[in-house]
Amino acid sequence: MTTTSQEAFLRAFHAERPAVTADAFAGGRAADGRSSYEMLCDRVAGHGRVLDLGCGDGLLLELLARTEGRRPAGVDLSPEALALARRRPLPAGTTLSESRAQHLPFADDTFDACVSHMALMLMGEVEQVAAELARVLRPGGMLACVIGGGAVGGEAYELFIGLLRSAVETAPAGQRIPALGDRRTRSRAGLDSVLAPVGFAPVDWETVPIDLSGPVEQVWDALAGVYDVGPLDAATVESLRAAFLTGAKKLTAPNGVVPCGMNVHLVTTNLTTT
């Protein structure tokens, strides 16, 4: 599957659901009470010029902009998501660009830091992405990313993934998504192999469970936003939903909360080249 085909799928998916990632993750919290977006903000504290790579509907940009004097910028493939980002209270002159990460529309050494929330792992041609990040970051600049890390065992996300896998395996080929991204971005060693050649230091890699628990319908809505569900026909999705609701009953606490945890990897590194 070519990068062009992957990006065509992502554009079409986010045209229909431009705020899907923020809808799923905004309410999730780590054990310390922070969202995965807030963790990224904290990692780039003290940096003024910050690029959000794959900014989506602009939730992270809005959080970044709450620091006085900060100059955020965002790029994304989806014009629909960027339209939502433009409605947020961002500083005057904030650049929001419909651009590919492989060809960033910025001059060399423009940014002090780059953040990316659940986006780097979806990108093809990752060597070119890494080269572009090294180009637009100043020497010593920081890269901070949140990357998906799979389900917390014994909870609703693990149940959902098992049911979804069975649904996708029996679905017609036309209802399956293309392979997205590069597997190397999902492991510490793999990401180092991509970033080190362009001058980044070995990554700091921290796995953090994010609690997405809630009433069963809320949990379903969050999980059903994953890419694999998008191409499935309505009957398959309804069957998947029914099976999930049935299975979730066994997990539901007396207060009606369904436990649902997802691991994310919080990854940081700095550009060491001069």
pLDDT tens per residue across span 5-26:
899 999 999 999 999 999 999 9
Whether the per-residue pLDDT at 265 is higher than 90: the answer is: yes
Residue 256 zone, left/alpha/beta (φ > 0; ψ -120 to 50; rest): left
135-177 pLDDT, tens digit per residue, is: 999 999 999 999 999 999 889 999 999 999 999 999 999 999 9
186-228 pLDDT, tens digit per residue, is: 999 999 999 999 999 999 999 999 999 999 999 999 999 999 9
Whether the per-residue pLDDT at 115 is higher than 50: the answer is: yes
The beta strands (E) that lie in 90-187 are given as: 95-98, 111-117, 137-151
Find, among 228, 227, 225, 209, the residue nearest to 154 by Cα.
209
3-151+180-211+262-270, which class in CATH?
alpha beta
pLDDT at 5: 86
Distance (Å, whole) CA 240 – CA 36 = 27
Distance (Å, whole) CA 120 – CA 114 = 11
For residue 274, name the pLDDT band (cuts at 50, 70, 90). low
Q: Identify which has the larger pLDDT, 178 or 54.
A: 54
Contact 142, 112 (CB under 8 A): yes
pLDDT at 2: 60
Beta strand pairing call for 137-151 and 204-211: unpaired
Q: CA 203, 4, 54, 218: dihedral to nearest 10 degrees?
A: -100
Secondary structure of residue 263 in the 3-state scheme? strand
47-92 pLDDT, tens digit per residue, is: 999 999 999 999 999 999 999 889 999 999 999 999 999 999 999 9
Q: Angle between the 216-223 and 156-170 helix axes, to the nearest 10 degrees?
A: 50
Question: Would you list the domain boundaries of the chain?
Answer: 3-151+180-211+262-270
What percentage of the chain reaches a pLDDT higher than 70?
99
Enumerate the H helices of the chain as residue ranges: 3-16, 20-25, 36-43, 59-65, 79-85, 126-136, 156-170, 188-195, 216-223, 234-249
Full-model pTM: 0.94
Question: Measuring CA to CA, how many Å separate 205 from each of 18, 32, 42, 55, 229?
Answer: 29, 18, 15, 21, 29
Residue 144 zone, left/alpha/beta (φ > 0; ψ -120 to 50; rest): beta
pLDDT at 82: 98
Whether the per-residue pLDDT at 107 is higher than 60: the answer is: yes
Whether the per-residue pLDDT at 97 is higher than 70: the answer is: yes
End-to-end CA distance of the chain: 36
Please list, in sequence order, all residues whose beta carbon lies within 8 angstroms of the beta carbon of residue 188, skipping any fewer than 6 positions away.
203, 205, 267
For residue 1, name the pLDDT band (cuts at 50, 70, 90). very low
